[in-house]
Amino acid sequence: MTTSTPSHVQGQKGSTTTAQQVLRALMGLFAGLFAAILSSTIVTTALPTIITDLNGSQTDFAWVMTAALLAGAVTTPIWGKLADLFDKKLLVQLSIVLFVAGSTIAGLAHNISVLLTGRAIQGIAMGGLTALSMAVIGAMVAPRERGRYSGYLGAVIAAATAGGPVLGGLIVDSPLGWRWTFFVVVPLAAAALVLLQMTLKIPYNPRRVSIDWLGAVLLTAGVSTFLIWTSFAGKEDTFAWVSWQSGLMVAASALLLGILFVVETRAAEPIIPLKIITERTTALAIVASIAVGVAMLASATYLGQYFQVSRGATATEAGLLMLPMIFGNLMGSVFSGQMITRFGRWKRFLVAGAILLVVGSGLAGTIDHRTELWTVGVYLFLFGAGLGLLMQNLVLAVQNTVTLKDVGSASAAIAFFRTIGGAVGVAVLGSILATRTARTTTEGLRDARIPDDSLTSTPGSSDRDLTPALSEIVRFAFGSGTALIFLIISGIATLALISILLIKEQALRETVDISPTPAERVSTSDSFSAPSAAHFSKVLPQPPTTAAPCTNSWDTPTTAATTAPTKTAVSSPTPWKPGAGDSPTSSARERSTSTASAAKASTP
């Protein structure tokens, strides 16, 4: 009989990991993830300066953001599948090395092409760290205790996503210059690499693997085509949403993804495991994750513009005004993680998060350029708290339904669709914001009887040089446009709430992996491990070489059969052979009696 491990974190092969060890290992992991996600948002306030310094165009402006987002999105599920096949620690270290290389290249860039190369490498590393962080936690901690660590992970993602613009604004406004928006994360990533090498210990069992190369290529091509379309459609210098270019790109993406579906149904180790993403909990969590991605990335992208254009704040002030959302996200993520670990229930926190997201974004949909800043802060706090309650707990709900060998793919699937939702949401909402702002500005100029050519500044840029009348028109336009974006986010969040309500809550298991089914083991009233075949042959009495005469018939119970058997687990009965001294209909209990009873039964 075995006793339960006193530690709350159980590993593989009977190993145990204490909470202190988990936290020490996760410090390095979280540091690397923080640096990677920070790099994707820190440049938002520095982009105007970067594009001007490198003589870029408005298209280049969009590509700097799209390159990292695209690379991260298409590689996230690939990293997740690799995590199920290879050593997770080695993959995390590889991701950090790639991230350092990409950040260095971007920081040293002397033209747009080199900058885009560095950003793409950063995106690949970001996709790896996002998928692998969740997979590592899933491999180290049982779902019953995973809530608190998932909460910490969500807090790291929230702080990096919303804190990037703050740090970026400080760097741009300082003598350091925009290049340090890339260099500043390199020391943090290097420290994370050293810390991981010293502390992270994950059991790894090498096995023969089959990599789905065709699926990886089709996924990359299909998703890339779709994201490029959503990122550039509707721009003045590209093509319209309804155009032959849009039709061609949508058709190509649909064809590639359709072929991917067929390939994944036949692949031995599919990049996108259809049996996982079509499971009810996972499918509904994916819908909710798409809404979370739209809300998270859209708010981080357009709130800074609202504060700078509609409220006249500097880049640094705009970042500081987003702190209520960061605090709400941190509190929601950490609090829910602790409560889930304590009570073992998770659905109530997902429902609460979805409600807060609907309410917070709905209230933010009422703001304009004159709304009191403290009121805006309260709305953003509710909005951020909803994100914190949802983001990592959706991953936890999915991880609880899969085996350890699939935890990487399942976690990456949620992150993948969250990133796709965010990328598409930012593109579509950006187009809506541009259209609404242009129309409102034109109407304002007409009502004020001001010529249209009076407004010559770049949309979204500072209006400090405008006349008071023009400044009022521009601020009103961007304020009303931002409110419209939040109203749309509120509608999308409502779909997330409906999806979460349809999820059936399953109790969080207390083991890292799913326990074998009753058909895979023989259990008794006590808890003990079934002996192996070699052990079984040593424990049970062996039949004599020469069969002893026996007066008992197979149809007549012997003394041994009526004697209380010794409690022994039997993994599988030995096939009966003629002359073996036993009946083909004898039960495992009749073959597992004590030596004394067997000897008594064989006496004439």
| C-alpha–C-alpha distance, residues 149 and 142, integer Å | 11
pLDDT of residue 428: 84
In Å, what is the CA distance from 60 to each residue of 29, 57, 192, 237, 565? Answer: 32, 5, 32, 11, 79
Within 10 angstroms of residue 399's Cβ, the number of other Cβ atoms is 26
Q: What is the DSSP letter of 519?
A: G
| C-alpha–C-alpha distance, residues 337 and 391, integer Å | 11
| C-alpha–C-alpha distance, residues 449 and 209, integer Å | 70
Residue ranges in the chain whose pLDDT is less than 50: 1-16, 457-461, 517-542, 544-604
pLDDT of residue 567: 44
pLDDT of residue 456: 53
pLDDT of residue 554: 39
Q: What is the CA radius of gyration of the chain?
A: 30
pLDDT of residue 381: 95
Cβ atoms of 283 and 289 closer than 8 Å? no
**Helices of type H across 141-212:** 143-173, 180-183, 186-199
In Å, what is the CA distance from 65 to each residue of 45, 429, 433, 449, 515? Answer: 12, 15, 17, 37, 44
pLDDT of residue 464: 53
pLDDT of residue 157: 77
| C-alpha–C-alpha distance, residues 272 and 412, integer Å | 9
| C-alpha–C-alpha distance, residues 282 and 272, integer Å | 12
In Å, what is the CA distance from 137 to each residue of 203, 264, 396, 466? Answer: 13, 26, 10, 52
In sequence order, the 6+-apart residues with CB closer than 8 A to the CB of 64 are: 43, 47, 50, 51, 56, 112, 115, 116, 119
pLDDT of residue 397: 86
For residue 16, the cross-strand partners are 10
Query: What's the first-to-final CA gap in the chain, in angstroms?
Result: 38
In terms of phi and psi (left: phi > 0; alpha: psi -120 to 50; beta: otherwise), the region of 153 is: alpha
| C-alpha–C-alpha distance, residues 367 and 476, integer Å | 10
For residue 25, the cross-strand partners are none
